[in-house]
């Protein structure tokens, strides 16, 4: 399973990249606003800065909601760097734009997906990635992980090549469960990745190894 980090914070992106396990980055307009990145040129510069830190794909979301606007914005974003994936909302014009970009060989990520039907449409439109939001489903007492299972089952039935990018991951157990189900990618906060490191027996074991070494070498 690929690991993407879901943030526009350059320090956190660099931290995850430094760990050596990062495969890409996802951003959205809320995450950009959280970092205080506003204005077209600053946003563009920020995407470039992210691409300079990571080796993998970087999802950059369009703001337009009509086909023409999405195409214009998406083409501009895609031209910034080969790593850029144009992120499109799961609305009618978003599906049309996805088909347009996939026909042109431009990578896409269809976002705000909450049902298997929406995931089928994204795959039919040739999306590179589909982003089902598991945390936001959990927030409204719906089983987000079940959506990942359903999409996995459907995509495997037909050999759809669209990668399932489990989004809105909130914690480490989401990461592990997505891996068990067979999500192709997960995108989550740095804490969800670093949480995988933790086990008290590792800490206790290391402490004992070091203490025993010290005894024998002092």
Candidates 97-105, 113-121, 128-136, 147-155 — which segment interacts with ligand E4P by CB under 6 A? 128-136
Kindly report the backbone phi and psi dihedral angles of residue 211, in degrees, each rounded to the nearest multiple of 5, phi listed first.
Answer: -65, -40
CB of 155 to ligand E4P, least distance (A): 18
Window 56-75: residues binding ligand E4P (CB under 6 A): none
| By the rule CB under 6 A, 192 interacts with ligand E4P | no
Hey, how many other C-beta atoms are within 10 angstroms of the C-beta on 203? Answer: 10
Candidates 129-137, 142-150, 156-164, 192-200 — which segment interacts with ligand E4P by CB under 6 A? 129-137
Can you list the positions of beta strands (E) in 83-122? 84-89, 108-113
Active site residue 99: no
Structure tokens at 8: 């526009």
Kindly report the backbone phi and psi dihedral angles of residue 194, in degrees, each rounded to the nearest multiple of 5, phi listed first.
Answer: -65, -25
Can you list the positions of beta strands (E) in 138-218? 163-166, 185-188
DSSP state, residue 126: T
Nearer to ligand E4P, 193 or 215 (CB): 193
Return the residue of 167, 183, 186, 193 that touches ligand E4P, per CB under 6 A.
167
CB of 118 to ligand E4P, least distance (A): 14
Query: Residues 2, 34, 48, 87: which is the catalytic one?
Result: 87
CB of 103 to ligand E4P, least distance (A): 23
Burial class (CB in 10 A: 0-12, 13-18, 19+), 96: middle
Nearer to ligand E4P, 35 or 213 (CB): 35
DSSP labels, 6-41: E---HHHHHHHHHHT---EEE--HHHHHHTT--SHH
CB of 135 to ligand E4P, least distance (A): 5
CB of 188 to ligand E4P, least distance (A): 7
Return the residue of 100, 114, 129, 133 that touches ligand E4P, per CB under 6 A.
133
**In whole angstroms, how far apart are CA 31 and each of 9, 28, 77, 133, 194?**
8, 5, 17, 15, 20
| By the rule CB under 6 A, 162 interacts with ligand E4P | no
| By the rule CB under 6 A, 26 interacts with ligand E4P | yes
Q: Write out the catalytic residue numbers.
A: 87
Residues that bind ligand E4P (CB under 6 A): 6, 26, 28, 111, 131, 133, 135-136, 167-168, 187
């Amino acid at each position: 399973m690929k690991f993407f980090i879901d943030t526009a914070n350059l320090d956190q992106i660099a931290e995850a990249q430094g760990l050596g396990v990062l495969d890409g980055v996802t951003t959205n307009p809320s995450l950009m606003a959280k970092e205080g990145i506003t204005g077209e040129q600053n946003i563009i510069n920020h995407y470039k800065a992210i691409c300079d830190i990571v080796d993998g794909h970087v999802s950059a979301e369009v703001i337009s909601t009509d086909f023409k606007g999405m195409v214009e914005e998406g083409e501009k974003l895609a031209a910034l760097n080969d790593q850029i994936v144009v992120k499109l909302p799961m609305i009618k014009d978003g599906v049309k734009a996805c088909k347009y970009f996939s026909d042109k060989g431009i990578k896409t990520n269809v976002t705000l997906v909450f049902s298997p039907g929406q995931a089928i449409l994204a795959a039919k439109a040739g999306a590179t990635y589909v982003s089902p939001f598991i945390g936001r489903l959990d927030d409204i007492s719906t089983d987000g992980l079940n959506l990942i299972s359903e999409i996995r089952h459907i995509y495997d039935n037909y050999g759809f090549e669209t990668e399932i990018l489990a989004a809105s991951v909130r914690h480490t157990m989401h990461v592990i469960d997505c891996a068990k189900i067979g999500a192709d990618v997960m995108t989550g906060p740095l804490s969800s990745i670093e949480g995988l490191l933790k086990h008290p027996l590792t800490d206790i074991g290391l402490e004992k190894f070091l203490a025993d070494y010290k005894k024998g070498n002092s």
